[in-house]
Structure 1
Amino acid sequence: MAEETDQESRTEAPTDRRIREAIEKGDVPFSREAPTFAAILGLLVSLSLVVRGQAAQIARDLSALFDHPGGFRLEASGDVQVLLQAVGLSAGRFLLPILLILAGFGLAASLIQNVPRAVGERIRPKWRNVSPAAGWSRIFGRSGQVEFLKAVLKVLAVSLVVLLILRSERQKAVNAMYVDPSQLPELILTLSIRLVSAVSIATIVIVAGDLVWARLRWQRSLRMSRQEIKDEMKQVEGDPGVKARLRSLAQDRSRNRMLASVDRATVVIANPTHFAVALRYEPSENPAPLVLAKGKDLIALRIREIAESHGIAVIEDKPLARSLYDAVQVDQTIPAEFYRAVAQILFFLFARPR
């Protein structure tokens, strides 16, 4: 019950990090029906290409044994070994291509679904794999119900297809009792190919549905709660409180450095209490006045205090102070549109007697 409640609370789509971690642990969507379907296709290819071409050859190889059993000496153990080697070699040449085709189709079914990767987590012993309670939940849970439904559908589909094929071939089966026995292998092979072809067609819908279900079930298992998303964001981006504290410390250090440079200013242009901008003009350093510091409210008052304590002129010009504060950043020269207004102030300062 607790597990179901926890699953219901996971209503959010998984993040890219959650998906990436699941794939790295080997938790990937996988359809169990795809390998089965691949095996059926492999069997169909084997019957159509290998068995039809190799059946006559193996029949010729074994005909000597069945037609003339007395032609083989069985007087010593070595004779038996030779006989078994001959039979095994002939059977191996017949079965090996079939096994390779089946293995190739099964491997392709796995590779198409997911890129292979070595994951030790998948083979590590886990208690839930042998736990009776976990096994009970797997059998009677939603996944177990879906697997049971798929099994029932497969049995019904295969049974219906086989029944229809056998009914359509009933007359040929009856007539086979009166034909040459040498034609029976070809008749059985043709019937087998038809059966396997029909079964593969009948299971395509089940396989397609299982592929979709496997991916939906995988995505559902990776769903996250809102709290899990918040925790992940904290891990990836850092705790918001810590980030705010670091940002505040950085702003304090920057403000202190700015205030420390006010004593080098040429003039401070200020609104009486709200804004203050400290400018430095040295033609040998910069072609235009440079903003050393700026601030409003308490910072503006602090800039004025420092300027006055160092004998730096404070000129009150409300529109100019506000415009400079909004338009220019610290350690930047003033834009050209402020040249005339600032030049008038500097001319006044340089022209007055000292």
Structure 2
Amino acid sequence: MAEDTDKESKTEAATEKRVRDAIEKGDIPFSREAPVFASILGFLLALAFFARGQTAQLAQDLSLLLDDPRGFRLESGEDATMLLNQVALAAGRFLLPFLLLLSVCSLAASLLQNLPRLVGDRIAPKWSRVSPMAGLSRIFGLQGQVEFLKSVVKFLSVSVVALLLLRSERTRAVNAMFVDPSQLPELILTVAIRLVSAVAIAIIVIVAGDLVWSRLRWQRSLRMSRQDIKDEHKQSEGDPSVKARLRSLAQDRARNQMLANVDRATVVIANPTHFAVALRYEPAENPAPLVLAKGQDLIALRIRAIAEENGIAVIEDKPLARSLYEAVQVDQTIPAEFYRAVAQILFFLFARAR
């Protein structure tokens, strides 16, 4: 019941990260019918292009046995072994092109669906792969039912196609008994090509449906709930509460560093309690006054307190303090439009110091 509820909650399409993680783990859509269909096509190509030549070569290789079967010595086990080796070698040369073409076509069908990748988790031993209960759930589950249905449809399709084709070739098969035996291989080859072609046409619909089904089933298995998407977002972007905490710590660190520089200021320009800007002017260091610290409300009061503790002049100028606070960042020199106003304050302080 809980599993059904969990599946019902997964209504959202998989994110790019979920799809990427699934592919990296080897969870990819794959149609088992495509390699089977490719093998049938490979067999059809082999019949059409290689069967005649291979049959002639096989007949030539076995001509000695066929023409004069009594000419072989079978007086010992070695003679029998030699005969079997010759027959096996001839049969191997006959079957090799067929097997190679079937293997290449099947492998190509698998590679075209998905590129191969080595995934350790897929080959690691797991109890669920040998568990009887897990096996029964796979057999009687949705996937098992679909595979059974495909097998039934394939069996019925191939049976009907083969029956119809053989019935249509019944007359030719009867007439073949009265023709030259040398024409029988050509007749058999023609019927075989037609039969395999008809089977391939019958199965192509099943293969197309299986390709679509495997893709849809894979996408459905990757569906996510809204909570899954939120959790993934937190993992990829970071937990908002943690990010806020880190941001707060960084701001506190920067604020403490800024307040530690106030004791190096030349003057603090303040708007009695709301704004305070600490400036340092040393012609050898910077051509214009440098903002060491600035703050509002409690920070402004703290800047003023540090300045008074260190004997630094605090000049109250409401418009200038507010304008400097809004226009200049810490560790930046003041813009040119403030030169005149700040220069008058500095001239007053230097004159008083004399």
**Structure 1 residues 57, 276: CA separation in 2 closer, same or farther (over 3 Å shift)?**
same
Change (3 A) 1:347 1:63: same
Identity, % of aligned pairs?
A: 77
Instruction: Report the Cα distance in structure 1 between the residues aligned to 2:169 and 2:348, rounded to whole angstroms.
Output: 114
Aligned to 1:334: 334
SS at 1:213 equivalent:
helix
Alpha-carbon offset, residue 117 of structure 1: 2.5
Distance 1:95 1:336, change over 3 A: same
Match of 1:120 in 2: 120
1:71-220 aligned at under 5 Å gives the runs 71-220=71-220
Measure how far apart 1:348 and its partner are.
Answer: 3.3
- Residue 254 to residue 167, structure 1, CA distance change in 2 (3 Å): same
Q: Deviations over 1:116-141 (max 9, x none)?
A: 22333223332322333333332332
Partner of 2:26: 26
**TM-superposed deviation, 1:108:** 1.7
What residue number does 1:223 align with?
223
Alignment match, 1:283: 283
- 2:143 and 2:182 map into 1 onto residues whose CA distance is 50
How high is the TM-score relative to the length of structure 1? Answer: 0.90
What is the TM-score of this pair, normalised by structure 2? Answer: 0.90
Segments of 5+ residues of structure 1 without an aligned counterpart are none
My pick for the range that moved more, 232-241 or 186-195, is 232-241
Unaligned runs of 5+ in 2: none
The reply on whether 1:43 has 2:54 as its aligned counterpart is no
CA distance 1:169–1:324, change in 2 (3 Å)? farther
The residue aligned with 1:64 is 64
Give the whole-Å Cα distance in 1 for the aligned partners of 2:2 and 2:91. 57
Q: What displacement does 1:303 show?
A: 1.0
Letter in 1 for 2:86: A
CA distance in 1, matches of 2:120, 2:282: 68
Amino acid at match of 1:271: N
Shift of 1:168: 4.4
Q: Describe the SS at the equivalent of 2:248.
A: helix
CA distance in 2, matches of 1:164, 1:270: 102
Letter in 2 for 1:315: I
In terms of mean alpha carbon deviation, does 125-134 or 45-54 score higher? 125-134
Quote the RMSD (CA, aligned, Å).
Answer: 2.4
**CA offset at residue 174 of structure 1?**
3.7
Partner Cα separation in structure 1 for residue 162 and residue 344 of structure 2: 103
Structure 1 165/304 Cα, relative in aligned 2: closer, same or farther at 3 Å?
A: same
Per the TM alignment, residue 3 of structure 1 is displaced from its structure 2 partner at its CA by 2.1
